[in-house]
Structure 1
Amino acid sequence: MVRRAVHGVLLLDKPVGLSSNDALQRAKRLYRAEKAGHTGTLDPLASGLLPLCFGAATKFSQASLDADKRYVATLKLGQTRRGGDLEGEVLRERPVNVSREAVRAACDRFTGQIDQLPPMHSALKHEGKALYEYARAGVEVEREPRRVTIHSIDIVEGEHDRWVLDVRCSKGTYIRTLSEDIGEALDCGAHLTALRRTGAGALTLDRAVTLEALEAMDEPTRDACLLPADALLADCPEVRLGADDAARFLAGMRRRLALADAGQVRVFGPEPRAFLGSAHIVAGELISTRLLSPSEVQGLVTERTERTA
């Protein structure tokens, strides 16, 4: 296979049963991309939004890692299972007698800043190994609670022992742990039967494509599915520089601008729209955070010109 330079972000709708890395490798082969990476793992049990980065976009994957997430989670009440999902053995069964008001009250208890104990069935590392590797070997590792933020939990639908919740949360939130905690608050236990990620920062599932759809496309149609390399920074303000300032900025030099302080901005050169990298503004100075190389900038300009021709 002849690899090629590809730049941009693909919003993939990952299927259940496929690891994030397997999904990435399949997409990378389809695009014949030289360089690719994902923006944080999505559990094989889960489906939904998995942003994949190609070429220059890989430099900004941390933005998606740090972004808030949104999930649709399906809970089964009355059963506690090992690992907190339907793949684990049943550990305990209890009768279910809940109302919508009780489920609402239980969800409210976990809205806001909470401390979560990371589950053993997670990718969190301990002495260089993922916790799930210890779990598979039957080894329990001591973990420290982590502070996360649950922005909202809305009831989509539900009755008796099956409830579907729409969860908006900070990075690092474990939805299977949240599901178990809600079950314990209802005094009947619960486990996760389905999980679908619908949002990551400003990116949403409604623009995502499946691997099967990508496989059926020809290369130009597949390329048209890619968002710009700055898509992971879509909620950051833009700063546009003239040719001289753009060249100096790419060389790592600070530029003085009459702009308010900002934690993160997207920086562009003159037309045609040339993305240069990310920066922050302190006391009127534009300071680079992540810069593209001149060849990457030229590659983005060339791709943009070809796609709009």
Structure 2
Amino acid sequence: MQGFINLDKQFGWTSHDCVARLRKLLRLKRVGHAGTLDPAATGVLPVAVGKATRLLQYLPTDKAYQATIRFGVQTTTDDLQGEVITSEVCGGLSLAEVTEALSKFTGKIEQIPPIYSAIQIDGKRLYDLARRGETIEVPSRTVEIFSVEVLAWREGDFPELDVAIACGSGTYIRAIARDLGAVLNTGGTLAALRRTHSSGFNLTDSLTVENLESQLQAGEFQPISADAALQHLPSVTLPDISAKRWCQGQRIDLGLEIIGKVRVYQQENDFLGVGELQEGVLIPQMVFEPIS
């Protein structure tokens, strides 16, 4: 078996938990995921099985989320899973103030990742250092926020905002909640997070672990084809002789003006792998289905 699974991750599971569960269900060792989700987050977790794990690096990196931000609260983890640092009623906060502050969070912005995150510094995970009580200076990074849309606003002592966020890779929604609260001088933390899109996969087409288990028991499960997840890449189709040479690691001069990664086919539906076009020459990057 090889291909992709568009998994709807449930609350409380780590991404590693999901992979371990799928390994047992599918009876496969080669299972991997793209785009880690925190245990408290739910939604789209792209999973590759079999040889498709080698294609994870070529998936698109854009993501989208629906998030709930709670104002008046700051925590150690920038979400409700951490210890509360401050908690102050801010019932006077208005949606107009929040909307104005949100305008600072689109485009390319500098963001300091949460201390409790999987980022490595000197080969050590930040969350491991934080749990040991070590003082850590986390460097900022440039991330890109494509859009932020207000979905709902709930007034109260600790008002909450629901937003839809489309962003590039490496963006921490927890950090947006924290920083938005800082801009408003109220404090803010992430109260809920659901990923609606990741690496080309959408929540509307996703499967829960229970859905997957039912399909497997009924003999109805079919993974998403390996190349279906790579539709953001242009494609080239090679004649039989050139296809065999390419699968053997040879470069093929196609004279095309396309530059960059491409899907490679022998015939219209015979996916061979991923190549890179440089000055009209097709260079093998990952041969998925070699021709004998």
Gaps (5+ residues) in structure 1? 1-5, 299-309
Which residue among 210, 219, 239 is the counterpart of 1:242? 239
TM-score, normalising length: structure 2:
0.93
Q: Assess if the C-alpha contact under 8 Å between 2:273 and 2:289 holds in 1.
A: no
Task: Measure, in 1, the Cα distance between the counterparts of 2:28 and 2:239.
Answer: 31
Task: Measure, in 2, the Cα distance between the counterparts of 1:230 and 1:12.
Answer: 17
Task: Measure, in 2, the Cα distance between the counterparts of 1:222 and 1:141.
Answer: 49
Tell me the CA shift for residue 269 of structure 1.
1.0
Task: Name 1:285's counterpart in structure 2.
Answer: 281
Q: Deviations over 1:6-64 (max 9, x none)?
A: 10000000001001011011112111124111113211111100011011211111133
CA RMSD of aligned residues (A): 1.7
5 Å matches for 1:90-101? 90-94=84-88, 95-101=90-96
Task: Measure, in 2, the Cα distance between the counterparts of 1:222 and 1:116.
Answer: 44
Moved more, 113-122 or 25-34: 25-34
Task: Measure, in 2, the Cα distance between the counterparts of 1:99 and 1:280.
Answer: 51
Counterpart AA for 2:75: R
5 Å matches for 1:1-309? 6-64=1-59, 67-94=61-88, 95-160=90-155, 161-218=159-216, 221-224=219-222, 226-270=223-267, 273-294=269-290
Q: Assess if the C-alpha contact under 8 Å between 1:84 and 1:191 holds in 2.
A: yes
Tell me the CA shift for residue 219 of structure 1.
5.1
Q: Assess if the C-alpha contact under 8 Å between 1:31 and 1:219 holds in 2.
A: no
Task: Measure, in 2, the Cα distance between the counterparts of 1:47 and 1:72.
Answer: 10
Q: Assess if the C-alpha contact under 8 Å between 1:77 and 1:96 holds in 2.
A: no
Q: Assess if the C-alpha contact under 8 Å between 1:245 and 1:255 holds in 2.
A: yes
TM-score, normalising length: structure 1:
0.88
The percentage of aligned residue pairs carrying the same residue is 37
Q: Deviations over 1:195-242 (max 9, x none)?
A: 111111322111110001112223564532x11112331211121111
Task: Measure, in 1, the Cα distance between the counterparts of 2:4 and 2:38.
Answer: 20
Task: Measure, in 2, the Cα distance between the counterparts of 1:48 and 1:156.
Answer: 18
Task: Measure, in 2, the Cα distance between the counterparts of 1:219 and 1:260.
Answer: 48
SS across alignment from 2:245 = helix
SS across alignment from 1:230 = helix
Gaps (5+ residues) in structure 2? none
Counterpart AA for 1:241: L
SS across alignment from 1:114 = strand
Task: Measure, in 2, the Cα distance between the counterparts of 1:293 and 1:202.
Answer: 22
Counterpart AA for 2:242: D
Write 1 or 2 for the structure with the bigger share of helix: 1
Task: Measure, in 2, the Cα distance between the counterparts of 1:231 and 1:44.
Answer: 28
Tell me the CA shift for residue 274 of structure 1.
1.6
